[in-house]
Structure 1
Amino acid sequence: MDIAWLRDFEALVAQKNFSRAAEERNVSQPAFSRRIRSLEEEFGVKLINRQTLPLSLTPAGEVFLAQARVMLRTYDETLERCQVIDTAGENVIRFATSQSLYMTHYKTHIAPMVEEGGLEIDLNSTGWTADQFVSALQQRYCDVILTYWHPSMDALAPLGLGNCDFITLTEDAFLPVSKNGPEGPLHTLVRGSKKPISLLSYGTVSALRSVVEFALRQHIEGPKMLVVNQSALAISVKAMIMEGFGMGWLPQELCKSEIADGRMTVVGGEEYSHTLEIRLYRDKENTKPTLNRLWRDIQAQSSESKD
């Protein structure tokens, strides 16, 4: 499929007329019509209702329009990122991390060093799955990934077996928490509950799901859990907890302000809390000078914090 066909389709939706849309796209009307038909043939559905005046979209066309705009936005953003990286060349360090780590440990540990060293960072704060982070590093789509790590995270195992270095920046507690109500937590994590406890968990694409499952496996005789929602991102789990839909596990740094001011509380005993390492990974064979400099600085800082 030609990306230009999507722009043709978008122009036709805006103009609701083949002649005006063709003029906007600077092509002849017959050529423009052929391109729209090629787009419909590519997807095997009619997108345009040609029997109405002005032209209208079929139900399939309505769905396609929303997705076409997403595809065009993604294409434009990708093109812009590639051009920035190509222009900067070896000076840019391509960083990938999750939204929760970007909001917490990246800003605390990495951002100050980047600013102090005058380094150029192409930061991709993304909702990738755990295995996508691994493949992105292995395929050099990024130079560094910042990730949570726990022994139960099988999706990150290839990094340990592959040609990768890592630095443990710090640790974070993974806590079972609930929203507080006027009389205490809305949901608890105790044995003997007469009804299942509502759990807000993580989807299969999230590496944190395996840590939740690990925490629950340690207490086979523990309370019965009812998973009421699964989210890919810790930020989404936090939002659902704050709406009172259930309890769930969150990294402490992501909810420390809510715990401190009493909007959220830790439920269950210490046996339900687990430790997450905050790790940076890079390919050992990536010899980008700016990356080597940042890596040495982070290693030095990490060593000082442990002394």
Structure 2
Amino acid sequence: MDLRHFRYFVAVAEALSFARAARNLNMSQPPLSKRIADLETELGVRLFDRTSKKVNLTTAGEAFLPKARDAVRAFDAALRTARLLSPSHSRRLRIALPAETSRNVLSDIVSRLQQERVQVHLVEASTADQQDLLTAGEIDIGVIRLPVEKQGLWASASLGQPLGVVMAAEHPLATVAKLRLCDLDPYTLVIFQRRFAPGLYDEVLDLCRAGGYVPHRILHATRMTKALLRTESAVAIVAERLAKRSGEAGSKEFIWKPLEGSPLHWWSSVICRANECVGLTRVAVDVILASLQQHEGWVPMPRSVRAQSEDIRPIEQRVDSVNAH
């Protein structure tokens, strides 16, 4: 028995699905099932009741879960403490960024931090993955799409970016001068998969419904978005910069239109673990904030009271003015 057995048990207990837990752990299901079986054999108790349709914790499993969580957290905390004291760690930062981050932001972050003699390791990860990586101590800083719910994280003030609509040039709405959300109602929506940023996904759909757009059909895509916009008479809700970068708004085949009143936004924050946003980590946070504003058009915006309550807790409502050096 080792700590991996505890980590695997917690993953299955939280997902209540061996298949889902295996995906979250980036492993296949058979070795995960064997690890859990080995743990049960070692402990002499069944931790899960399994059927072909569902997985439930036994009484022993429910009693074991909080202790297993504590053990995993204590181990991860011990590793982080030791790494923070390492001389090499003091000049090395692991930074996670969303897949749509521009090349200019990537090169700018690396260049500015190299001037501070910081070794930068960049990781591509979704909001959901970044939360897990931070919790596990596998990254130091992330850039996430709000809102998210996660304890133990510190977040910068939010940056916002208005969203508009991309459609094929021959779409019936392509000639509409002022586009409203309710105008989209008859049309299929193409959007990213919810698992990448659950909070943002739900917020976008909630605001669409509030504005009179209740998609009768939703398709999930990233690389296939262009094809679906052509074949489905669909629409996609994206920031203008992403539409232009992918060639959708700048070509004769597709058109990007703003929404009247700017009812939809993307919200982002730079995050790190609570109580660890000091020293070089804080310098890097400020560098990232400055780079996002300079190269991608993100701007500081106050979120609504409702949205702020759904962001990260605990959260600092202000950050110092950005200073890259």
Other-structure match for 1:135 = 132
- Counterparts of 1:171-186 in structure 2, within 5 Å, are 171-181=160-170, 185=174
Tell me if the contact between 1:166 and 1:282 (Cα under 8 Å) persists in the aligned partners. Answer: no
Aligned-pair Cα RMSD in Å:
4.3
Tell me if the contact between 2:163 and 2:258 (Cα under 8 Å) persists in the aligned partners. Answer: no
Matched, 1:98 2:116: no
Tell me if the contact between 2:165 and 2:259 (Cα under 8 Å) persists in the aligned partners. Answer: no
Q: Identify which of 217, 223, 247 aligns with 2:209.
A: 217
- 1-side partners of 2:181 and 2:161: how far apart? 23
| Structure 2: tracts of 5 or more residues without a match | 1-30, 35-85, 292-319
- 1-side partners of 2:106 and 2:131: how far apart? 22
TM-score (norm 2): 0.50
- 1-side partners of 2:236 and 2:105: how far apart? 23
Other-structure match for 2:269 = 279
* Higher fraction of strand: 1
Other-structure match for 1:81 = none
Q: Percent identity?
A: 11
- AA aligned to 2:91 is N
- Following superposition, the deviation at residue 268 of structure 1 comes to 7.1
Tell me if the contact between 1:201 and 1:227 (Cα under 8 Å) persists in the aligned partners. Answer: no
- Counterparts of 1:144-155 in structure 2, within 5 Å, are 144-149=141-146, 153=147
- Counterparts of 1:249-288 in structure 2, within 5 Å, are 249-257=237-245, 258-267=248-257, 269-271=259-261, 273-286=263-276
- Counterparts of 1:238-253 in structure 2, within 5 Å, are 238-240=225-227, 243-245=230-232, 246-253=234-241
- AA aligned to 1:173 is P
Aligned residues: 210
- 1-side partners of 2:104 and 2:163: how far apart? 14
Q: Cα deviations across residues 96-155 of structure 1 (Å, max 9, x unaligned)? A: 12201x2367337634423443422111113x4x43322321231110011222xxx3xx
- Alignment partner of 2:238: what SS? strand
| Pair 250,241 (structure 1): closer, same or farther in 2 beyond 3 Å | farther
- AA aligned to 1:251 is A
Indicate the structure (1 or 2) with the bigger Cα radius of gyration: 1
Matched, 1:303 2:321: yes
Other-structure match for 2:306 = none
Tell me if the contact between 1:90 and 1:288 (Cα under 8 Å) persists in the aligned partners. Answer: no
Matched, 1:200 2:190: yes
TM-score (norm 1): 0.53
- 2-side partners of 1:294 and 1:282: how far apart? 11
